[in-house]
Structure 1
Amino acid sequence: MGVINVWRAAERYPGGEPEAGIESWHAFSFGPHYDPDNLRFGAVIACNEERLAPGAGFGEHPHSHTEIVTWVVEGELTHRDSTGHETVVRPGDVQRLSAAGGVRHVERNDGDVPLTFVQMWLAPLNPGGEPAYEIVHGIADSTPYAVPEAGAMLHVRRLAEDERTAVPDARYVYAHVVRGEVRLKGEKLGPGDSARITDVRDVEAVGLTTAELLLWEMS
């Protein structure tokens, strides 16, 4: 029998360095917030909402054995990494850094307005390998973004009020509301809320307002 577990924005763990202009909200066990019952769902091991004040950012730091996918909500994210990539990520872009055997990167708000982005970490099926980087500018709703290294696919859904969209039928689906309000199987979800869907078929999401929804389809 399938299961849908709803997790509210208010249940996320606070983090970051507010005095340095960094505010973080973690949907999964993260850093000092260790929760053995909330380590991962499917391939997803982190879903962090990051808010950076102008001029704030994360200095160079390492990652390994992680697929890191970033979605900018508002503002612009400046990314630099040890493989030589330097890019600006804007709303509508999908950025992926495949940390593989090890990579270092910097993430900053070099703009003059606040930056908000959602960063999702996925566990690879096979650790190791060479780091890789990709950015897709202005991804369309009808274009899923595949992360085969993690056996996962990202679907972006931008809904008008009363618009319906089918949730993928999959072993695991992780749904995160970026903005607006949606109804999912009778549950009303708002910004920062998420649903962890296991083995449920024929699920629809309905926009109660204009809304933006990220759906991870995982095998």
Structure 2
Amino acid sequence: MLRKIESENMGSSNLGWLKSKFHFSFAEYYNPDNINFGVLRVINDDLIQPNTGFDLHPHRDMEIISYVIDGELTHEDNMGNKNTLGRGHVQYMSAGTGVYHSEHNFGTTLLRLLQIWIFPDKQGYTPNYGDYKFNWDDRKNKWLHMVSSKEGSAPIKINQNANIYSLELEQGKEISFPVKEGRQAYLVQIEGSSTINTVELSNRDGLEIVEEDILIKAKETSHFLIIEMKKPAELY
């Protein structure tokens, strides 16, 4: 099963310093039929102006992943972590029993990132932070496995049975991705346009995939992120 989510039908927000597209209900955008997709709770496509950002604020019991598309993201938290990441880099924070953090664009150009929240497999984990500066070329015309469960093989490991991959596919090329029985996935067309099986996707569109293998054909050079996970069950 495939279900396309067009970017123009998503929730949106414009605070001046921050413009966002909400793939799921978030902040002032609330749709009772669009709260989550399995353990995936949030994908926000954020555009953050230079010298602005999210000041210190709390989270708990959520696996939070930030994927930088353009610009520079500077993270700081009450665990003593501070780092700046660029295009194609990933940061991860397990909020667990509670953490305070800030996220800013201290660069001179617009920052675009995907903010992703995933429910953990249980509550009460000890808070944790990590980041990884992936080589951009490692996702050119092939899937780059960036995030996995603690039992998986990706460099970043989270407290959930889920995987995150990225891909840059050159115009005219094809690539497949399996979504097996008992699994589902959510794909974001970050940049470019493509045909996935029979579905046409444009820049910033989303696609729900349930137990169906997909074949991606790039109509123009395209950038993707996919979150693959077990089909829903009780979260706790």
- Tell me the TM-score normalized by structure 1: 0.93
| Partner of residue 207, structure 1 | 218
Give, as a single letter, the amino acid of the residue that structure 2 aligns with 1:15.
S
Consecutive unaligned residues in structure 2, runs of 5 or more: 150-158, 231-236
Aligned partners of 2:74 and 2:103 also within 8 Å:
yes
Aligned length: 214
Separation in structure 1 between the aligned mates of residue 144 and residue 47 of structure 2, nearest angstrom: 27
Separation in structure 1 between the aligned mates of residue 115 and residue 24 of structure 2, nearest angstrom: 12
Residue number among 5, 15, 18 corresponding to 1:17 in the alignment? 15
| Partner of residue 186, structure 1 | 198
Check 1:16–1:100 CA distance in 2 against 1; reply closer, same or farther (3 A cut): farther
User: Once the 2 structures are TM-superposed, how far is the Cα of residue 101 of structure 1 from its aligned partner?
Assistant: 1.2
SS in 2 for 1:10: helix
4+ residue stretches of structure 1 with deviation over 6 A?
A: none
Residue number among 204, 207, 225 corresponding to 1:195 in the alignment? 207
Separation in structure 1 between the aligned mates of residue 223 and residue 199 of structure 2, nearest angstrom: 16
Separation in structure 2 between the aligned mates of residue 198 and residue 72 of structure 1, nearest angstrom: 26
| Partner of residue 33, structure 1 | 29
Give, as a single letter, the amino acid of the residue that structure 2 aligns with 1:14.
S
Aligned partners of 1:168 and 1:217 also within 8 Å:
no
CA RMSD of aligned residues (A): 1.3
Separation in structure 2 between the aligned mates of residue 123 and residue 194 of structure 1, nearest angstrom: 20
User: Once the 2 structures are TM-superposed, how far is the Cα of residue 16 of structure 1 from its aligned partner?
Assistant: 4.9
Alignment of 1:30-69 (within 5 A): 30-69=26-65
Aligned partners of 2:78 and 2:100 also within 8 Å:
yes
Identity among equivalent positions (%) equals 27
Aligned partners of 2:178 and 2:212 also within 8 Å:
no
Matched, 1:97 2:93: yes
User: Once the 2 structures are TM-superposed, how far is the Cα of residue 67 of structure 1 from its aligned partner?
Assistant: 0.8
Alignment of 1:106-185 (within 5 A): 106-139=102-135, 140-141=138-139, 142-148=143-149, 149-170=159-180, 171-185=183-197
Separation in structure 2 between the aligned mates of residue 153 and residue 90 of structure 1, nearest angstrom: 21
User: Once the 2 structures are TM-superposed, how far is the Cα of residue 209 of structure 1 from its aligned partner?
Assistant: 0.5
User: Once the 2 structures are TM-superposed, how far is the Cα of residue 33 of structure 1 from its aligned partner?
Assistant: 1.6
User: Once the 2 structures are TM-superposed, how far is the Cα of residue 147 of structure 1 from its aligned partner?
Assistant: 3.6
Separation in structure 1 between the aligned mates of residue 61 and residue 126 of structure 2, nearest angstrom: 10
Separation in structure 2 between the aligned mates of residue 144 and residue 159 of structure 1, nearest angstrom: 15
Separation in structure 2 between the aligned mates of residue 210 and residue 89 of structure 1, nearest angstrom: 23
Consecutive unaligned residues in structure 1, runs of 5 or more: none
Residue number among 6, 26, 35 corresponding to 1:8 in the alignment? 6
User: Once the 2 structures are TM-superposed, how far is the Cα of residue 42 of structure 1 from its aligned partner?
Assistant: 1.9
SS in 2 for 1:35: coil
Check 1:82–1:16 CA distance in 2 against 1; reply closer, same or farther (3 A cut): farther
- Tell me the TM-score normalized by structure 2: 0.87
